[in-house]
Amino acid sequence: MHAFTFSPDSDHDPADEQIDVMRIRLWNPSSATALLGEFYSADRVLARWGSGAESSPIGFEVTFHDGYVVRGSHEFFRKGKRRCLLATHVRRMLERMVSQADAGFPVARPDLARYLIPV
């Protein structure tokens, strides 16, 4: 019987791994809820919901594989026109958190380079 042990790759650092989205949950005031796994699908749902005559803030919760959660609400459409994509809004929220942490506010400081958020 032979046993082999492999040492971890010296070039591989878990801190360098990209963290992908595990789950995106969307909800609107009319009690519709969507549970998705990627930003592209979430934007398609938002476009469908935004095509109605009345646009109102949509709640969202983005959970990453490391357990980090970004939660909020945003009016993605105004007068039938798209204001921004969900990924853009989440990236802006994370950037705002980083700038608040840099200013000394007591908020979690995420490493933006590690999170896979489409451009």
Residue 74 pLDDT grade (very low, low, confident, very high; cuts 50, 70, 90): confident
pLDDT at 60: 93
pLDDT at 57: 85
pLDDT at 41: 94
Q: Which of 82, 32, 25, 78 is nearest to 55 (CA)?
A: 78
Helix axes of 86-102 and 39-50: crossing angle, nearest 10 degrees: 110
Q: Which of 4-13, 50-59, 89-98 has the weakest average pLDDT? A: 4-13
More confident residue, 28 or 101: 28
Query: How confident is the model over 51-56, as a mean pLDDT?
Result: 66
Give tens-digit pLDDT for 6-53.
444 545 556 668 889 999 999 988 888 999 999 999 999 988 887 765
pLDDT over 50 (residue 83): yes
CA 46 to each of CA 72, 100, 112: distance values in angstroms, whole numbers, following the listed order: 15, 29, 24
pTM of the model: 0.76
pLDDT over 50 (residue 3): no
